[in-house]
Structure 1
Amino acid sequence: MFKPKLNIIIITVLTGFSCNAPNAVAAGSRILGFFVTYSKSHMLLHCNVAEQLARVGHEVTVIGIIDNVYPNATYKYIHLQLPDGGILDDNALRSVINTRHSLVKSLIVTTGEYMRMANETMWQPTMREFLRENSANSFDLLLFGFVMNEFQLGLAAHFQCPIVVLWVVRPVLQVNRFIGNPLEMAYVPNLSSHLQQPFNFLQRVKNYVTAWMEFALMAYLDYRTQQLYE
């Protein structure tokens, strides 16, 4: 599977950035925020980062698939209208909610919908036109809202610019492998285990089991991503 060689930084709060000068606010940079998620709560956080950058003088463009969560923001907003309105498939979600499914099957259905949405985004006519009009050196930085859309990291290679990944909860396996964080399963709780330190023996076992479930999920996501390329 294609894996772009990118320098990636995971951040919670970003207050300023400049590719052109040591003083972040001395020279405005061209920044693209790519936030293709249906979740308004995610967009509130992502777009707040974009807005803070725009307020200190950077030229910020944000791409999203729902209505702008900050209508009076100073950044430029491009709304991509997906065929389904940018909402996860109701039938798929209703099946997860109303039918007794295992955790694994629920994760497969949900992540599959995220990936379908991400794929539709890349084929959306406005997005295709945007990519034709903007290529290498069009932007100095890409703010990337990560949500099971690993293949879209290739946008940084398209624009040939650094990338900053925004993730709204504590790191998971897929995020850890971007930046080389060790799992430390013996004492660091993973997102799926819902445990807190310190661990007793049985909690360590549970943490190991749920961590390996994440490995299985990542293998599935890699398989689905490869299908998108083919």
Structure 2
Amino acid sequence: MNSTFHLLLLVTLIHFIIGAKILGIFHGYSSSHQQLGNKILCELAKRGHEVTAIVQGKFAPKNAVTNFKPIVIEYGAFLRDQSSTLYKTPERGPIDQIRDLHAGGVFLTELFFNQTSVQNLLKSNQEFDMVILEQFVNEAFKGFCYYYKAHCVVVYTVGSSRSTNLQMGNPLNPSYMPDVLLNYSSKMNFVQRLFNSFAVFFATLSFYWTVLPKHNEILQKNFPGAPYITELYYETSLILLNSHVGTSSPVPLLPNMIEIGGFHLNSPKRLPKDLQTYLDEGKDGVIYFSMGSNLKGKDMEEGKRNAILKVFSKLKQRVLWKWENETVPDQPNNVKLGKWMPQQDILAHPNIKLFVTHGGLLSIIEAVYHGIPIVGIPIFGDQGMNVAIAKADGYGKVVEFSTLTEENFGNAVTEVLNNPK
């Protein structure tokens, strides 16, 4: 009897220490989205879970990770010429941007399911205990959770928003919760609150009347026999939010909505020799300038680029600029270019005095973590909201791209460099 009991106990313990089978889906075309996905999924694999990850080929981990199996998707031509289009986003009003986001989400979701690698996975006999998927206007992805009868975990690359609150039943109050596509912080005046309420109402109406039905068509096509999408949309076990009290406005959250902002941060490493020397010798300080991975400097309007260069040329500080070409026309002597920059390691350098940024959330989090003030030039997505929060919280200035001039950009840079606050 005792030997039988011990055998059963041993089998039970072995069962509990076997890792889960996890399917991770991070389909977004942005490098930041892929960076967040790799950080979570690779860590789960290192902890003994068996992870299958659908990722873009160029963002898959360069080195093999134990228990980590990538399934590669390629968007090809869709990604090549986005930069010049994105720079025109500020010319479009918020309502048009909401429409663009919804339409783009449907397009990207269809593109995803048309991938041969995705269809091969669905035709295989694999089983999964959990599905971890990125939230990016891709509601049809909830079909994976239904198909595999798995726990559904959502990773949202920004903080609490209209999208997360609707599916979780979390409070959505437009009087102090700005829509992610508006350039507002939670400290809105009456007119801003009124317009924000209208934008949230319009976006919610559009979502339920047009977006969800289109995603239901994609869902039924790829998961025949699945329930209507509204039955799956709310079946989310957990949402992980890439937000933090130090960088986002305070909002109420349900217990299964967890803020994990900053989890992508790494301990600083020594820089390549040329960058280390350049920063070490910048005794008057160094300005770091990057518009992120999607926006290319070469696609920036010439007049605005020249205005920025003229401001830099008048400064005693050195400038390190992420730029895709070897040279930039009329490049000042105090400006150094680089096609790729180890951003976290650069911001950790003690001589960095200012970060000129597009306002991507990862960049904002890294700036706050390293104590670097910013000048934000938002272009699209949540960038306007992020830099509005930075301005409201007192660690940044905002220069709207559509009205950027040598004078207003210079004033913002000068104030941040010289104001001890």
Cross-structure match for 1:187: 176
Between structure 1 and structure 2, the one with the greater Rg is 2
Distance change (3 Å), C-alpha of 1:197 and 1:207: same
Cross-structure match for 1:212: 201
Q: Measure how far apart 1:123 and its partner are.
A: 2.5
| 1:120 counterpart = 2:89 | no
| 1:224 counterpart = 2:224 | no
1:48-87 alignment runs, 5 A limit: 48-74=39-65, 75-82=68-75, 85=76, 87=78
TM-superposition CA deviations, 1:62-87 (whole Å, max 9, x none): 002342342125121111234xx173
TM-superposition CA deviations, 1:20-60 (whole Å, max 9, x none): x99xx932111110111111111101110001101111111
Cross-structure match for 1:131: 122
Aligned length in residues: 206
Deviates more, 1:143-152 or 1:96-105: 96-105
Q: Do the aligned partners of 2:89 and 2:97 also contact (CA within 8 Å) in 1?
A: no
Distance change (3 Å), C-alpha of 1:185 and 1:110: closer
Which residue among 35, 41, 44 is the counterpart of 2:32? 41
The alignment partner of 2:58 has SS state of coil
What is the TM-score normalised by the length of structure 1? 0.75
Distance change (3 Å), C-alpha of 1:193 and 1:110: closer
Q: Unmatched 5+ residue regions in structure 1?
A: 1-20
Q: Do the aligned partners of 1:38 and 1:87 also contact (CA within 8 Å) in 2?
A: no
1:111 and 1:96 mapped to 2: Cα distance? 19
The alignment partner of 1:144 has SS state of strand
**Backbone CA RMSD of aligned residues:** 3.2
The alignment partner of 1:41 has SS state of helix
Q: Measure how far apart 1:199 and its partner are.
A: 4.6
Cross-structure match for 2:133: 144
Cross-structure match for 1:101: 92
1:126 and 1:80 mapped to 2: Cα distance? 7
Q: Do the aligned partners of 1:66 and 1:86 also contact (CA within 8 Å) in 2?
A: no
1:21-36 alignment runs, 5 A limit: 26-36=17-27
- The aligned amino acid for 1:195 is Y
Distance change (3 Å), C-alpha of 1:164 and 1:37: same
Q: Do the aligned partners of 1:64 and 1:78 also contact (CA within 8 Å) in 2?
A: yes
Deviates more, 1:38-47 or 1:195-204: 195-204
Q: Identity of aligned pairs, percent?
A: 24
1:164 and 1:41 mapped to 2: Cα distance? 19
- The aligned amino acid for 2:113 is M
Q: Do the aligned partners of 1:156 and 1:163 also contact (CA within 8 Å) in 2?
A: yes
| 1:157 counterpart = 2:133 | no
Q: Do the aligned partners of 1:36 and 1:121 also contact (CA within 8 Å) in 2?
A: yes
The alignment partner of 2:38 has SS state of helix
The alignment partner of 2:32 has SS state of helix
> Whose relative contact order is higher, 1 or 2, with alpha carbons under 8 Å and at least 6 apart?
1
